[in-house]
Amino acid sequence: MKTPLIICLFASFFLISCGYAQNKTKKETTVNTPLQLTDEEWKAKLTPEEYEVLRNKGTERPRTGEYDQHWDAGTYVCKACGAELFKSETKFDASCGWPSFYKSVDKSKVIEEKDVSFGMVRTEVMCANCGGHLGHVFDDGPKPTGLRYCINSVSLGFKKAE
């Protein structure tokens, strides 16, 4: 009776491990974007941490990002290409450790794609201009959209309102 349980546990571990390895080797988005640079060009343009998150789909540690508790008025832009992504008036404190927004500047500014890495099903958010990984979007946000764009600070720059 214990043998099927052990086989089931081993199979689960194997599948999760394969998903993890697949995620860590996936570097580029599967969508075409206007701005296309080589890996070498991205590495020259971005810091190692920015490259890891924006190009390798990494995640910064929660509550460590510059914009988690940042409340100035202005526009959040893609750190890789400068495209406008989110307005400060759509930012809210979701207490999740990452900057959270309930909508993007314009639906055409972000790409949403199914993400099944790490044994979870989520929706990845990428910059529509350069394909940079921004974070994920969830359906547990506030009105009026009910969305929570959970975004890595390292993926963002900020233009203060004048």
- Find where tokens 């590495």 sit: 43
Q: How many residues can be counted in the chain?
A: 162
What DSSP string runs through 25-73?
Answer: H--S-SS--S----HHHHHHHS-HHHHHHHTT---PPTT-STTTT---S
Contacts of 9 (CB under 8 A, 6+ apart): none
**Distance, CA of 19 to CA of 81 (rounded, Å):** 29
Does 96 participate in catalysis according to the annotation?
Answer: no
Residues labelled catalytic:
150
